[in-house]
Structure 1
């Protein structure tokens, strides 16, 4: 598997291999101000042998937070704290992008300052529950964003991207997947608007396209990436005509010269192959492997050209030295789901490396 462990040029950044650590929420940020902690710096630096690390979702604004103990990039205190993370990763020879994630209607007023409620494309509540400091709670009906508020949200993403570069990140990945805000605008089940930000396919694409444009203008296309998950029903999303929707989205973002497009594969490989062919740049795949984590078997997707880079989630969570373990064919530490989300080192920084 020479391709998987060979260097790869991602824009101006040289990756040591083609193995990507996928973004995974871990809820270890400071509870009061959303700053990353020393424990988080240790966690990411342990995994710096990845060709590229993509962080957990980072909220670009106060109202973009949908879970407790998640980090932000909208204050100077958060920028300074993230700099400690990126410095540690770079000192270990790694590369790291920040994933910017606005959760939209997925959230709860108890997670926000007084007077704020979650926002969305339309006033349609997600039929799901979210974690809060007092336990699982139903999602509330979100506030439908006005056009002025949509433009402010786009600006929040661009500002957070500038903050990410100031904090030492090599780039940013916009989270357009998993039923969060950008995905909520893409999907007709959550976007019931009849103005220029909904209704037609062009209208539903508009927020994602304009956010990508704004961030690429703010920090450069080669420092900007997008993650999508076509057809993923997570967080009460329903989509149809995926080839048309996502084919049009890829066509619309191609001119921005992005660092990469990251596909969290939910459906069949045929759609993945269509989007791979349509996208002009680097193609990152988090393959669909029902019932098990992505493993050694998927390395062949790099060899046969299905993807340029391959992202690993749960297996990277439990194996800080995952590229070396993949190269050796294992063995692999077993992930402990009970510690995926937490406040301490257990199941976070205490998984052993082979050496």
Structure 2
């Protein structure tokens, strides 16, 4: 191995005692490839197994915790005990290759396509997303909010029973948890909205519920992480200043990690703070030693990863690059980083073991993957 990349391969231990063999994680990516009944498909299992032997931890695509939280065609389900065998199948496939398996749990809120939730699109408030083709959601009642919080806990219990090593609470990318924190989507005037402290109530209640379930059901250390998007483009919307309030609160929750969702590792704040550093540098300094931060965003080459890990972040997640080259980790570890592919080979679907719905999305979305 090139000594430049030695840091990427140092073991890492979470405070709960769970150890990772290296610092490289597979980022959660929607793959649109589950069966119509919500079970994990054969092609999905093969896709994950193909990418699980080099990385130390795999964070799955999001799984919906409530029937009206399904955000994507071909998303796998975690909303009933009937799904435990399906969830277990995926966890086993990942763990058999030597990686820790983390189930990402989520509710799509106002971003759910109407036809996937029987027309019942819900959110913190009846405020339409600015995404084209979106629906005006129905505002959740207090009772429904509490029910969804419990659903996150129940999905966590299923993850434990299915053999996962942890869960990642999906509080990013404009979905329901973020919708409660955002001043764009949350215009409530009850205990779940209004001031920034009240907008924090739902995300923190989900964290509390998940941790309570882990304490009650997990027989061994179980990872709980939280993913968030640092800023929103909308006005009003989440600014970097809001995110500092969020991560202060999350850092006090004894979480195992925070995972920043962004497309560029080196992105700088757009508004809310006057700071020339990257968002990740600001976030990492802010939480200090309280909670490890996972950095992500357009890391393709070994050089990209080497530069990123030198910033002091303990963990890096690769997303698109592990689809482009499933052997990325092994190539760096064996000193063959010059052989890494950094552009998608449009003739290599079978070789790369990518399910057809995901492959079609990749090759028909210019600009999403290098090489398309």
Contact 1:53–1:97 under 8 Å retained in 2: yes
Is the Cα contact below 8 Å between 1:295 and 1:315 reproduced in 2?
no
SS at 1:26 equivalent: coil
The alignment status of 1:104 with 2:109, answered yes or no, reads yes
Query: Is this contact kept in 2: 1:231–1:238, CA < 8 A?
Result: no
Q: Would you say 1:284 and 2:289 are equivalent positions? A: no
Write the distance in 2 (CA, Å) between the matches of 1:34 and 1:219: 24
1:322 corresponds to which of 325, 328, 339: 328
The equivalent of 2:224 in structure 1 is: 224
Instruction: State the SS of the aligned residue for 2:7.
Output: coil
User: Which residue of structure 1 aligns with residue 306 of structure 2?
Assistant: 299
Change (3 A) 1:47 1:344: same
Counterpart secondary structure, 1:174: strand
SS at match of 1:27: coil
Judge conservation of contact 1:22–1:312 (CA < 8 Å) in 2.
yes
Does 2:51 correspond to 1:43? no
Deviation per CA, 1:248-275, whole angstroms, max 9, x where unpaired?
2222222321110001246414432222
Cα distance in 2 between the residues matched to 1:13 and 1:346: 37
Cα separation, 2, equivalents of 1:347 and 1:323: 25
Instruction: Give matches, 1:242-281, under 5 Å.
Output: 242-243=240-241, 245-265=242-262, 267-268=267-268, 269-279=277-287, 280-281=290-291
TM-score, length basis structure 1: 0.85
For the aligned residue pairs, the C-alpha RMSD in angstroms reads: 2.5
2:142 pairs with 1:142: no
Secondary structure of residue in 2 paired with 1:3? helix
**TM-score (norm: length of structure 2):** 0.82
Partner of 2:95 in structure 1?
A: 90
The 10-residue stretch of structure 1 (251-260 or 220-229) with the greater mean CA deviation from structure 2 = 220-229
User: 2 CA distance for matches of 1:256 and 1:218?
Assistant: 15
Report what 2:25 is aligned to. 20
Return 5+ residue gaps in structure 1 as ranges.
Answer: 130-137, 349-355
Residue 173 (1) aligns with residue 168 (2)? yes
CA distance in 2, matches of 1:251, 1:333: 36
The SS at the match of 1:105 is helix
Instruction: Indicate the residue corresponding to 2:344 in structure 1.
Output: 335
Q: CA deviation at 1:313?
A: 0.9
Q: Is residue 125 of structure 2 the alignment partner of residue 122 of structure 1?
A: yes
The gaps in structure 2 that reach 5 residues or longer are 216-220, 269-276, 363-372
SS in 2 for 1:55: strand
Displacement of 1:7 = 1.6
